[in-house]
Amino acid sequence: MKCLCIIPVFNEETKLNKLIQAIKKNLHRSYNLKYLFVNNGSTDNSLKIIKKNKLSYISLNKNYGVGYALIRGYLHAKKNNFTIVVHLAGNGKMNPAQIPVFLKEIIKNKYDFVSGSRFLKKKSHKQNPLYRIILIRIFSLFLSLVAQKKITDCSCGFRAFKTSVFKNFKSNFLKKNLFTYGYEYFSYGKIINSKKIMSKEVPITMNYPSKKNYTKMKPFVDWYIMAKFWILGYYDNKKI
């Protein structure tokens, strides 16, 4: 199986070098894993750093949103016959060494979609901002009740899935309103509601590199988008 790890990047010059070094230490050749950076219109030195390290990349002329960057990565994976896609943040909060945890569940245990959770093991979320922990736990409980399925971490972007999961990708997801955070959560909602897709959570850590500028999510606007599109995806009747 060919696996592609997609890493959206927007103005991460202060964090990229550390992330790239972690990636180089964890190439996971046994899983035939490749990395693809999607430069989302960075105005700092992010693209120069990617080029300097001779990494595969797609460069967009402006920031269209993290959802669009991930969509472009998926289309690249599909075009080049990758079997599995992994999502990894460009700010270093996710650990590349944990990618095999996802791949094992898909390749050996036959799952279709695997999402990370920082709440399956104690202390895995200790470096996360308190307000995020509270919001994630409340919203995860709400979604668990809606879906009648236990969800411990509804907002984790660290995930992996078979490219074959999406049969109608462009008609479902190539829409401007999904180009920000909408894509990740709209697709998650559809997947959780599907009876044909085998999904599960796996324990991961999420370490924010600093207490300042640790995320580009706006506390109220983007959380509203996340909740809105998760629900819209869950109740969407179109075939995935």
Alpha-carbon distance of 6 to 85, in angstroms, equals: 7
- Does residue 105 fall inside a structural domain? yes
CB 173 within 8 A of CB 71: yes
Residue with the bigger pLDDT between 190 and 126: it is 190
pLDDT band at 29 (very low <50, low <70, confident <90, very high): low
Asked if residue 141 has pLDDT above 70, the reply is yes
Task: Tell me the percentage of the chain whose pLDDT exceeds 90.
Answer: 78
Closest CA to 5 of 104, 73, 106, 81: 73
Q: Taking residues 143-172, report their average pLDDT.
A: 95
Q: Taking residues 119-138, report their average pLDDT.
A: 76
- Residue 199 is which amino acid? S
Look at residue 124 in the predicted model and tell me its pLDDT. Answer: 56
Asked if residue 132 has pLDDT above 90, the reply is no
pLDDT band at 206 (very low <50, low <70, confident <90, very high): confident
Closest CA to 172 of 191, 159, 151, 187: 187
Alpha-carbon distance of 137 to 142, in angstroms, equals: 9
Look at residue 42 in the predicted model and tell me its pLDDT. Answer: 98
- Does residue 240 fall inside a structural domain? no
> What is the rounded average pLDDT for all residues in the chain?
91
- Does residue 80 fall inside a structural domain? yes
Distances (CA, A) of 159 to 99, 114, 188, 221: 9, 6, 10, 23
Q: Taking residues 118-146, report their average pLDDT.
A: 81
Closest CA to 74 of 168, 189, 215: 168
Asked if residue 49 has pLDDT above 80, the reply is yes
pLDDT band at 190 (very low <50, low <70, confident <90, very high): very high
Give me the sign of the Cα torsion angle 217, 83, 54, 174: negative
- Does residue 216 fall inside a structural domain? yes
- Does residue 23 fall inside a structural domain? yes
Q: What is the CATH number of the domain that holds 109?
A: 3.90.550.10
Look at residue 135 in the predicted model and tell me its pLDDT. Answer: 84
CA 65 to chain centre: 13
Domain extent for 23: 3-235
Asked if residue 212 has pLDDT above 60, the reply is no
Asked if residue 89 has pLDDT above 60, the reply is yes
Closest CA to 236 of 163, 156, 179, 175: 175
Closest CA to 97 of 172, 5, 173: 5
Q: How many domains does the chain have?
A: 1
Helix (H), strand (E) at residue 84: strand 84-87
Asked if residue 193 has pLDDT above 70, the reply is yes
pLDDT band at 93 (very low <50, low <70, confident <90, very high): very high
Look at residue 221 in the predicted model and tell me its pLDDT. Answer: 74
pTM of the model: 0.92
Look at residue 57 in the predicted model and tell me its pLDDT. Answer: 98
- Does residue 132 fall inside a structural domain? yes
